[in-house]
Chains A and B, each alone.
Chain A
């Protein structure tokens, strides 16, 4: 049971990393336009 002392911060830390990645993606504008990128992939230059 004592392992929880280490596992809990690790679990939350991992979650926080993903939350931070999500925030970075939102700030980057990744979610501003959800309709076009699927169309765009069909065209290569």
Chain B
């Protein structure tokens, strides 16, 4: 490998200029890490850690130094990643023998991140195609399996500081809906031209031969619209009927069928039908469907990527007794196996920063283990021989040898997931339009038969049939059917732009009605990661110098805090890290040492003993307080629920301004609380991130999970917050309420339209021309109304500010 060509100092500061210069505490020249922007003491171009140096090396090796000049945000600091079996992911093989797969890449901060990731991958030998999407974070990779494998590519993405994740089954693109929309649009526009000609002929007179030509052309164009483009509505109506539900697709399917049959009969008889209205309505309805499905797809994709479980590996110990040389010595060897191949009784090794692969009992070693996944507590717990460990918990510090007790379906995580699947059966609530649909259908049929009977008696069969058909045609509730999907799609889009990805419009509408919100503490009100809570600048600076090359979570917390305080990282020499014990090294010419001093604290020691202490712990998110205030302003009671000890919980609750606090709750008690609230008539929103929050998320009217939370919590949640903040929930409630207002006003107007139009048709005032003007007009009114959702939300946001 060639010597690293470092990016020029000028370009690095240009990119970081907006953050201001690093504070210079002791008159030394202050610089920034050229890769991640962490302030560093000493010469220019000094990297803060080996991770950043490697990332920069990869970028310059690929000849991509321009990245540093063009980026608009610093790169994330590379994190240690291990124990992931990328090659076990499902990989598609093309006819040419090349492999293809998709990954989710997290941590992309600007368009240049996308550029550098793509180029680095493309310039890896064996890769034929690499495209990364900035909007969705999806990467599509094609490579030659003979030259490179997915594990190498994933490691390269990780080395740059971005986090690769496996992408689950991709939400299928809505291509068939788009095709139907395209065909309907083509037919509708041509039919409209023909119809205008025909209607003009009513006044100016038209040769019957030309009228027949236009009528037959219209029929030919309208046939695929009715039979193929409108198929989703027939399918929806049919599946509703089979399940004994009359939903909104039924009156639409009936309307389309009647419009087409009437048009067919009229054309054969040489008269004008309602085929122009038919084509226009199907086109508008399909446009509504396309908008709706696009809104839903983003949330679905984000969820599949988060849930896509990484196949993990474990280090299994194997002892062989070699009798060949007659000594009978047991020799230990280690092999890396997929987690699925572990059996009860196997012994596995887990080191610092790794996830424990299977439930078991500690045989040897001691380690700080973060159990947040299970208990919701951020502070790691010290475990030693004899203690039980659970798969998925993370070793913060130390090393353990454990004996596997349960795998697969018997494991704690699996049992909890099975419990969740049972609790999750929320079903789809009928929408307000679906509740109207049966009444609507019944009243239409009643009015139609009254029209038929009374005109038959008064004017005979011909007039009676013509007017009855007109009633059935204008009764088609297209505007009503568009009201909900369009406004909900606008609401979903508005929420997504603000960081809340909701899975369905049902969830959005339920969100607007919540009266009480249960907030988990760890990872929801708080950041859920280790942060420095107390330390002097001088102590922090020494600690950061020693920790700068460490991959330990404590090191990450200390470096992040020094960067926040703008303290440049000092240079350190002779750094030696003893896992589970501490770090020593030389800073400013003197030898220092870091040692753990109880849970959540480290001591910095010099020659004369302890110099200072760095306290570490969980801290509240910066905006938690304002979010809680806004909940109250929206009329939603906020309650904090946590498994933590009450004094710790109370401190966080007070900081965030939460009035009601439930401390020391067991995981099951969280869902009990949700059910109690529901029994007393409240609509409950629950926001959480851990595995232990799963039952509460599933039981609540709306469950919202943090994107960085446990996969199982994401799986059962209705929505995912994609940013590191709770503010998107507030935006979501506003979007839901705005959408609801618009839906109601649209529905009111469409019903008034339908009532007036049916009355006019029964009175014999409706002909194909009137229908062709009125019906698309009412649907357009609904579309225009849906655009108000975003404006309503913006007006409310302006009010709060």
| Chain A residues close to B by CB (< 8 Å) | 1, 4-5, 8, 11-12, 15-16, 18-19, 22-23, 26-27, 29, 31-33, 35-36, 39, 42-43, 45
Contacts and interface: CB of A to CB of B under 8 A. Distances in A.
18 contacts: A1-B207, A11-B190, A11-B193, A12-B190, A15-B186, A15-B189, A16-B186, A27-B179, A32-B175, A35-B134, A35-B135, A36-B133, A36-B136, A39-B111, A39-B114, A39-B134, A43-B112, A43-B114
Given A15-B186, A45-B119, A36 B134 contact: yes
Summarize A's interface: helix, strand, loop or mixed.
helix
Contacts of A18: 186
B673 interface: no
Closest 7 CB pairs of A and B: A35-B135, A19-B186, A22-B182, A36-B133, A32-B173, A43-B115, A26-B178
A35 B182 contact: no
Contacts of B183: 19, 23
A40 to B, nearest CB: 8
Interface string B242-277: 000000000000000000000000000000000000
A11 B197 CA distance: 14
A11 B217 CA distance: 12
Nearest to A42: B111
A18 B189 CA distance: 12
B221 interface: yes
Most buried by A among B178, B213, B217: B178
B210 interface: yes
Contacts of B214: 8
B135 A4 contact: no
A4 B214 CA distance: 10
Contacts of B112: 43
A39 B119 CA distance: 15
Report, as a range, how many residues of chain B touch the other chain: 20 to 34
Contacts of B189: 15
A42 B115 CA distance: 10
Given A11-B193, A12-B217, A26 B182 contact: yes
Given A15-B190, A16-B186, A33 B221 contact: no
A35 B207 CA distance: 51
B117 to A, nearest CB: 12
Interface in B170-229: 173, 175, 178-179, 182-183, 185-186, 189-190, 193, 207, 210, 213-214, 217, 221
A2 B134 CA distance: 56
A35 B193 contact: no
A23 B207 CA distance: 36
A19 B114 CA distance: 34
B182 A19 contact: yes
Interface string B108-130: 00011011000100000000000
Contacts of B186: 15-16, 18-19, 22
Nearest to A27: B175
Contacts of A12: 190, 217, 221
A6 B207 CA distance: 17
Contacts of B221: 12
Contacts of A36: 133-136
A4 B114 contact: no
Nearest to A8: B217
B620 to A, nearest CB: 33
Interface in B122-176: 133-136, 173, 175
Contact of A33 (B133, B175, B178, B213): B133
A26 B175 contact: yes
B480 to A, nearest CB: 28
Contacts of B179: 23, 26-27
Nearest to B186: A19
Nearest to A9: B217
Give the most central of A29, A39, A42: most B CB within 10 Å: A39
A15 B220 CA distance: 14
B65 to A, nearest CB: 14
Residue from B119, B179, B213, B221 having most chain A Cβ neighbours under 10 A: B179
A1 B134 contact: no
Given A29-B173, A35-B135, 6 more contacts: A12-B221, A15-B186, A27-B179, A31-B175, A35-B133, A36-B136
A27 B112 CA distance: 30
B289 to A, nearest CB: 14
Contacts of B217: 8, 12
Nearest to A21: B182
Contacts of A33: 133, 135-136
Nearest to A17: B186
Contact of B213 (A4, A15, A19, A31): A4
A31 B210 contact: no
B277 to A, nearest CB: 19
A33 B189 CA distance: 26
B195 to A, nearest CB: 13
A27 B178 CA distance: 10
Contacts of B185: 19
A45 B112 CA distance: 12
Contacts of B133: 33, 35-36
Contacts of B210: 1, 4
A8 B213 contact: yes
Contacts of A4: 210, 213
B59 to A, nearest CB: 15
Interface in B606-650: none
B210 to A, nearest CB: 6
Interface in B458-485: none
Nearest to A45: B119
A4 B193 CA distance: 13
Nearest to B193: A11
A4 B198 CA distance: 13
A24 B189 CA distance: 19
A45 B70 CA distance: 13
Nearest to B190: A15
Contacts of A8: 213-214, 217
Contacts of A45: 119
Contacts of B119: 45
Contacts of A1: 207, 210
Contacts of A5: 213
A31 B178 contact: yes
B64 to A, nearest CB: 10
Contacts of A35: 133-136
B111 A43 contact: yes
A16 B189 CA distance: 11
A43 B566 CA distance: 32
A23 B182 contact: yes
A8 to B, nearest CB: 6
Contacts of B190: 11-12, 15
A16 B224 CA distance: 13
Nearest to B110: A39
B402 to A, nearest CB: 45
Contacts of B135: 33, 35-36, 39
Contacts of B193: 11
Contacts of A31: 175, 178
A41 to B, nearest CB: 10
Nearest to A22: B182
